[in-house]
Amino acid sequence: MTIGEVIRKYRKQKGMTQEEMATILGVTTPAVNKWERGNTMPDVALLAPIARLLSISTDELLSYKDNLTDEEINQYLHIVQEDLKNKDFHDVFLSVKKKIEEFPNSEKLIWQAAIILDSKLMVSDIRDKDNYENTILKWYERCLDSEDERIRKEAADSLFHAYIRKENYDKAAHYLEYFSFDNPERKRKKALINSKTGKRTEAYRSYEELLYTGYQQMQLVLNDLRLLYMEDDDYEMAKKLVEVSSSIASAFEMGKYNEVCIALDVAAWKKDVEWTAHIMREILESVDTISDFAYSKLYRHMKLKSVAPSFIADVKKELLKSLNDETFDYMNGNEEWEKLKKDTYEKE
């Protein structure tokens, strides 16, 4: 990162325009623009005022040593991990601190070094633990400004859990802002805070909603994967995924209907007469369980609506019609299929 890139990065973090920066420093706006584009360098006399304005050290402003490769970072962190096994924590900590001061713009180094030292602190009985932890938390805070989304989120996650451990739940909640509203991790973390702050009902409901939506997401993925295998004529894997989907429906207490209906598509695709007849009978006999999940204790804090009787009647009607659908022409004349149609119509 060049000095111009450092100036641009921290100027933007301050929410400052080039014009505002130029006015404060007593230079022209084009001068600031040229610094940031790397066309010119600031006058030596301006380095300290620029650093103060951007709330950074002159070392950080002038640092060109941020070009550590991933391999160099990994090699160094491996040494740190080995040192933590054999050396005093304080000595290793000071060594890492010095390395970060040498490469203050190496976000990946700062983030991963913080994680390693933080993990050691959590499992070890170390004197003056709070002093070390405060520095590590500041390193995480620096990573929140990273342009790398992964580093930002991982740093926010580490800060969240650090303040959960400190039982500072208001501070922990602040870091939820780094997770989008549709990110399940945000909801899970919010549920954790609720569980720690006496909002038990809200916590239960959030966890149950995550279970419910997680089930739906898994089934969508399994269905797409199954269709892909069917396109590639891989019957073994398509049937395997039917078994997995059925098991998941059972584990999440979605009702017998949702456990068995998944298989019909594959049975019809392979024109498996015996399997088709068996599955269709199970489906017809379990239609009434289509909304059993609404009564499951797994979702007791959610307000799930059961399916209306009229909807169930419509499903049955469509299933009966499908018995004579051309999709199942291969079933014509099959004794079990004909018996199934007769038994079902008689019940109706």
Q: In sequence order, which residues have a C-beta less than 8 Å from that of residue 324 and are 6 or more positions away? A: 341
pTM recorded for the entire structure = 0.75
**What mean pLDDT is predicted for residues 34-42?**
89
First to last CA, the chain: 76
**What mean pLDDT is predicted for residues 268-280?**
93
Query: What is the structure's pLDDT at 307?
Result: 85
Q: Identify the band that residue 339 occupies on the pLDDT scale cut at 50, 70 and 90.
A: confident
CA dist., res. 133 & res. 131, Å (int): 5
Better-scored residue on pLDDT, 317 or 178:
178
pLDDT > 90? residue 69: no
Angle made by CA atoms 15, 18, 21, in degrees to the nearest 5: 80
pLDDT > 60? residue 121: yes
**What mean pLDDT is predicted for residues 259-273?**
94
**Is 169:196 a contact under the CB 8 Å cutoff?**
yes
For residue 292, the 8-state DSSP code is G
CA dist., res. 274 & res. 237, Å (int): 19
Alpha helices in the chain (DSSP H): 3-13, 18-25, 29-37, 47-54, 58-62, 70-86, 89-102, 107-123, 129-143, 149-165, 169-174, 184-196, 200-231, 235-251, 256-260, 264-269, 273-286, 309-322, 335-347
For residue 46, the 8-state DSSP code is G
Of 154-163, 307-316, 337-346, which has the strongest mean pLDDT? 154-163
Average pLDDT of the residues of the chain: 91
Dihedral, 335, 338, 343, 348 alpha carbons, nearest 10: 170
pLDDT > 90? residue 173: yes
Query: What is the structure's pLDDT at 345?
Result: 61
Query: What is the structure's pLDDT at 64?
Result: 54
Query: What is the structure's pLDDT at 67?
Result: 63
Q: Which numeric CATH code is attached to 3-62? A: 1.10.260.40
Residues of the chain with CATH 1.25.40: 70-178
**Is 315:281 a contact under the CB 8 Å cutoff?**
no
- Burial of 262 (C-beta count, 10 Å sphere; 0-12/13-18/19+): buried
Nearest to 239 by CA among 251, 256, 222: 222
pLDDT > 90? residue 346: no
**What mean pLDDT is predicted for residues 113-120?**
96
91-95, 125-129, 166-170, 216-220: which has the minimum mean pLDDT?
Answer: 125-129
Q: Identify the band that residue 267 occupies on the pLDDT scale cut at 50, 70 and 90.
A: very high
CA dist., res. 124 & res. 282, Å (int): 57
Q: What single-letter amino acid sits at 325? A: D
Residues of the chain with CATH 1.10.260.40: 3-62
Which contacts (CB < 8 Å, 24+ apart) does range 261-269 have?
Answer: 262/223, 266/226, 266/230, 266/235, 266/238, 266/239, 266/242, 268/327, 268/328, 269/230, 269/238
The CATH architecture to which 70-178 belongs is Alpha Horseshoe (1.25)
**What mean pLDDT is predicted for residues 83-96?**
94
List pLDDT tens digits, range 279-335: 999 999 999 999 999 999 999 999 998 888 888 888 888 888 888 888 899 998 888
